[in-house]
């Protein structure tokens, strides 16, 4: 039976590709298909498209084109920033937090020399904790949290990192299209982006690495991207990412205003209609698209299943493996109990989200929470 509505509220996971982006990519699949390192005209056409894309991205980020390194996505960019900045015999630690995306936190843990910065109940680290560290080789701190939406004011952290002799890297994946990306104003040495978070294609991203930052390649093969990345360039996706980032910049004010309006309607509706619900993350310094909650007595994976049956796509921070849900690492680091950390729900709006979508989604969540809590109460009585 067809669903009454189909509402997508998981834009922090991925966004649909803008039709304008799809259109600009198409010729590079079929007409201008050459390998960019080939010396003939087909290769030169592809190379020109890539270097033009690099220049356009450099203008958005306010950096040199040569400081833009193309990757397969932010996970690779984060790995290149962390692993690539390692030095043999250098015992200085990487400073990061346990609320980072796993592409950073698990990579840092695998490197071995890592110190975990504490975070407050909103998921924010402290500049003072960085300043108190004697030295580090790298500080990596996300611009905006993917699970609770909290934004970090990066400039102060970058300055503190430089004072202790460290590079400063930020995973800015969630910030693409929603927060300013001027790397000089932010003070960052490295910044990771992934195109599919700002209405570009999946499978392509970038690492901004300031001139003078010493990096080593983390994979061997060809000498692409200043010798830092082996593998043939994905020309269509790179071209698409450049346009998606430009559109996100030129339409920035309109997009942020629209997203924030839908987000606030969603937060107000949930908090006013469902008892025993708390907003997670910072109440005001949060992504324009992002709403997240802990909902007493409603395990999130159960909520997601019921919401999906009602046509609402959402997500949670807890990982369910073979039917055994695990509490969110992010919520645990923020001070929530394991039981509370199993009830985290993330609802993220997009450019196509309407007021009617929000009203339907809130109604669906109200019904779902009531149903789940009734089942819980019967089990407690039994």
- Catalytic residue, chosen from 179, 320, 351, 366, is 320
**CA–CA distance, 50 with 53 (Å, rounded to integer):** 5
**CA–CA distance, 168 with 250 (Å, rounded to integer):** 27
**CA–CA distance, 286 with 289 (Å, rounded to integer):** 8
**CA–CA distance, 154 with 156 (Å, rounded to integer):** 6
320 belongs to the catalytic site: yes
169 exposed, middle or buried (CB, 10 Å; 0-12, 13-18, 19+)?
buried
Cα 20 to the center of its chain, rounded Å: 22
**CA–CA distance, 302 with 200 (Å, rounded to integer):** 31
**CA–CA distance, 72 with 60 (Å, rounded to integer):** 20
Residues 6+ apart with CB under 8 A from 337: none
How far is residue 138 from each of residues 56, 71, 86, 143, 189, measured CA to CA in Å? 28, 20, 9, 15, 10
Catalytic residues: 320
């Amino acid at each position: 039976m067809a669903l009454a509505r189909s509402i997508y509220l998981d834009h922090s996971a991925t966004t649909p590709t803008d039709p304008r982006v799809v259109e600009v990519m198409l010729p590079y699949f079929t007409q201008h298909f050459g390998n960019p390192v080939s010396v003939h005209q087909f290769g030169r056409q592809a190379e020109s498209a890539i270097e033009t894309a690099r220049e356009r991205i450099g203008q958005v980020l306010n950096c040199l084109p040569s400081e833009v390194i193309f990757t397969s996505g932010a996970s690779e960019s984060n790995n290149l920033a962390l692993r690539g900045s390692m030095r043999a015999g250098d015992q200085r630690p990487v400073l990061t937090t346990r609320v980072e995306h796993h592409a950073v936190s698990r990579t840092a843990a695998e490197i071995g020399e890592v110190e975990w910065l504490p975070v407050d109940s909103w998921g924010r680290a402290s500049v003072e904790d960085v300043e108190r560290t004697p030295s580090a080789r790298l500080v990596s701190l996300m611009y905006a949290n993917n699970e609770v939406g909290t934004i970090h004011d990066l400039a102060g952290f970058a300055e503190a990192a430089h004072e202790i002799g460290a590079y400063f890297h930020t995973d800015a994946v969630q910030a693409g299209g929603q927060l300013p990306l001027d790397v000089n104003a932010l003070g960052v040495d490295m910044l990771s982006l992934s195109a599919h978070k700002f209405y570009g294609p999946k499978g392509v991203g970038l690492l901004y690495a300031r001139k003078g930052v010493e990096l080593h390649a983390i994979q061997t093969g060809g000498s692409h991207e200043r010798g830092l990345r082996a593998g043939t360039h994905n020309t269509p996706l790179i071209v698409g990412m450049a346009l998606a980032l430009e559109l996100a910049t030129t339409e920035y004010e309109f997009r942020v205003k629209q997203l924030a309006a839908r987000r606030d309607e969603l937060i107000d509706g949930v908090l006013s209609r469902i008892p025993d619900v708390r907003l997670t993350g910072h109440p005001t310094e949060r992504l324009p698209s992002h709403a997240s909650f802990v909902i007493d007595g409603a395990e999130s994976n159960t909520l997601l299943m019921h919401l999906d049956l009602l046509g609402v796509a959402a997500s949670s921070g807890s990982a369910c493996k073979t039917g055994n849900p695990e509490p969110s690492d992010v919520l645990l680091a923020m001070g929530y109990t394991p039981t509370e950390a199993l009830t985290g729900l993330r609802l993220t709006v997009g450019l196509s989200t309407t007021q009617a979508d929000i009203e339907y989604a809130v109604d669906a969540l109200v019904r779902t929470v009531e149903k789940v809590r009734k089942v819980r109460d019967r089990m407690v009585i039994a």
